[in-house]
Chain A
Amino acid sequence: MQIAVASGKGGTGKTLLSTGLMKVLAEYNPVLIDADVEEPNAGLVLIQQTIETTNVNRPVPEIDLQKCTLCEKCAEICKFNALVVMADKVLVFNELCHSCGACAYLCPRAAIKEKEHPIGIIEEAKLPEYGTLLTGRLTVGEAQSPPLINATKNKKKEAELRIIDCPPGTTCAMIEAIKDSDYCLLVTEPTPFGLHDLELSLEAVGLLGIPAGLVINRWQGEEQKLVALSKRTGVPILARIPFSPELARAYMQGQDPLEAMPYLRSILTEIFSQIKGALS
């Protein structure tokens, strides 16, 4: 089973929820995938052992000037303006290239080969009690995160339970992170920001047809609008995590939230059994 933990707005509690689920579901030997590759944080709140690192590359064109006739065909076909033909050379802008491979395939002189361009790393860490953590870490300055998200998700596919800590937002990176999941948990907070961004992320999840459920974090009783949204969209509210300055403080100080708020454990267990129920 693969569960994606997502939210439109940042800072609503995705990492709290996904690492918490890891801990209460330790018996499944779960794999946690930190797919927020721009700012991966799950590893900061878990104890990791024996980290193994893999480099991730994506292909970009390399021009063989011996063969190139500066015919400009490559610049013509590239939809991303990643190739510019000058008087005596061809400039390649790696950051604009989408690695589609069209230029290399279509060059009439076979003057373009593809070379590997590093975009980030994947760290694989054994967690002493709870399973495995896979962290994708984008190199600072790289613009495109989906290829790295994809590579990180491609590891440990055989695991019985995979939990994905997704990037915020509703763009292609979020879609890449939640796709192929059996269920998507959307974490929100009961503010106008949370509500607005939740509506957008529900639309994104709807595009993929993945069943979803809501978790209201920092709940203080006020929830009319979220209840109305849940009724309108048919996406159930699975749990409410009460607002607690103690939990916020403990979490910020790096303490185990399950110790700071012991009944969080039963909330998380209940969320999982509801997901299992929804999928059976």
Chain B
Amino acid sequence: MKEILVISGKGGTGKTSLTSSFIHFTDNCIACDYDVDASNLPILLQPQKLNGYDFSAGETACIDEQSCISCGLCADICRFDAINSKYQVLTLPCEGCGFCMHVCPVQAITMQPRSSGRWFGGISKHDQAVFFAELRPGEENSGKLVAQVKMMARKMAAEKQIPLIIADGPPGIGCAVISSMVGVDLVVLVAEPSRSGFNDLQRVSQLMHLRGIKGVLIINKWDLNPGICEEIEEWAQKNKITLMGKIPFSIQIAQSITDAQIPGSNSEIKEMLFPLWENIVEQLTVV
């Protein structure tokens, strides 16, 4: 079983347009969305027969008003400003470290499990398994929720002998992206030819190299800025990142997203994207 992860560093470069199309081109694969705080792949894949499960990672401190003697020690030691002047716990900043529980002289503090979000499994119109999650707004633990989605996808791949997982990654380079990269065989970098797109591409590919994962590149909307596109191509060559192809700015792709359709399900767009997918599959066989 192999896993492909599509990432970009910068948001809005076309990750989900491409990921959903690649999933559409593949008969036997599992689809995953690791962008757990703004998950968009399900909007296009429209999975049915959804099962949702609560995900709880970490804890929140809870102060028992009756036993509290207002000594203030908990508020003093808390580094997250999560205890207010009335000795109530503010759940948003509380990181669940439990420091306050340990120092409380009258054992007035307990740690309660905290719901971080939900994860879902379903089946797409094309009979593919789809896994994704919804982090509760404002929560941390996005990395752990990504790991949960990944674990479920891998378990199903092993049980049903499905050879490929195709995953839509989150933006950035932080905990969710680091967690998304675990066990991945090939990273597909999607770049847009702007200064910020190029800058973010370099940072995320640095992370990919730190993790020792092979990467390939797609430049999206390349004709909006042929100058930087050329710079990106040179940079990729120097860094041994093979270019899978360039996609011109396409009103049609934008329109499919507006209509909540998988871009690759349109035959004209498929003609444009399918050769890139064939290149990726070829790269995957050599990793």
Contact = CB atoms under 8 A, between A and B. Distances in A.
A18 interface: no
Given A102-B102, A170-B137, A197-B38, A11 B12 contact: yes
Interface in A87-113: 98-102, 105-106
Contact of A169 (B37, B58, B80, B257): B37
A105 B13 contact: no
B200 A39 contact: yes
B77 interface: yes
Given A39-B173, A79-B59, A252-B194, A44 B138 contact: no
Given A9-B11, A10-B12, A11-B13, A101 B99 contact: yes
Interface string A169-198: 111111100000000000000111100110
Interface stretch (B118-126, B152-160, B203-211): B203-211
Interface in B129-156: 134-135, 137-140, 142-143
Given A143-B143, A196-B40, A200-B37, A10 B102 contact: no
A204 B97 contact: no
B78 to A, nearest CB: 8
A178 to B, nearest CB: 10
Contact of A44 (B140, B172, B196): B196
B137 A44 contact: no
B174 interface: yes
Given A105-B77, A169-B37, A140 B206 contact: yes
Contact of B257 (A15, A100, A105, A193): A193
A41 B196 contact: yes
B137 A200 contact: yes
Contacts of A106: 99, 102-103
Interface string B103-132: 100000001000000000000000000000
B173 A170 contact: no
Interface residues of A, number: 59
A144 B175 contact: yes
A8 B193 CA distance: 22
A254 interface: yes
Contact of B43 (A80, A175, A192): A192
A159 interface: no
A12 B13 CA distance: 10
B284 interface: no
B139 A191 contact: no
Nearest to B44: A192
Contacts of B40: 9, 192-193, 196-197
Given A44-B196, A192-B257, A170 B135 contact: yes
B47 interface: no
Nearest to A40: B199
Contacts of B135: 170-171
Contact of A79 (B58, B196, B197): B58
Contact of A172 (B99, B138, B178, B204): B138
B185 interface: no
A270 interface: no
A222 interface: yes
Interface residues on B, range: 35 or more
Nearest to B91: A207
Contacts of B96: 79
Contacts of B175: 143-144
Contact of B210 (A140, A170, A193): A140
A63 interface: no
A36 B203 CA distance: 13
A200 B138 CA distance: 10
A172 B139 contact: yes
Contact of B142 (A38, A171, A200): A171
Interface in B151-192: 170-178, 192
Contacts of B58: 79
Interface in B41-90: 43, 58-59, 77, 79-80
A201 B249 CA distance: 28
B224 interface: yes
5 contacts: A36-B172, A39-B204, A44-B196, A167-B172, A174-B37
Interface of B: 9-13, 16, 37-38, 40, 43, 58-59, 77, 79-80, 92, 95-99, 102-103, 111, 134-135, 137-140, 142-143, 170-178, 192-197, 199-200, 203-204, 206-207, 210, 221, 224-225, 227-228, 249, 257-258, 260
Given A8-B38, A140-B203, 19 more contacts: A9-B38, A9-B40, A10-B38, A39-B9, A79-B59, A79-B96, A100-B95, A102-B97, A102-B98, A106-B103, A144-B174, A145-B174, A169-B38, A169-B172, A174-B138, A190-B258, A191-B257, A193-B43, A253-B227
Of all A-B residue pairs in the complex, the 6 with the closest CB atoms, nearest first, are A10-B11, A11-B12, A100-B97, A38-B172, A204-B137, A41-B196
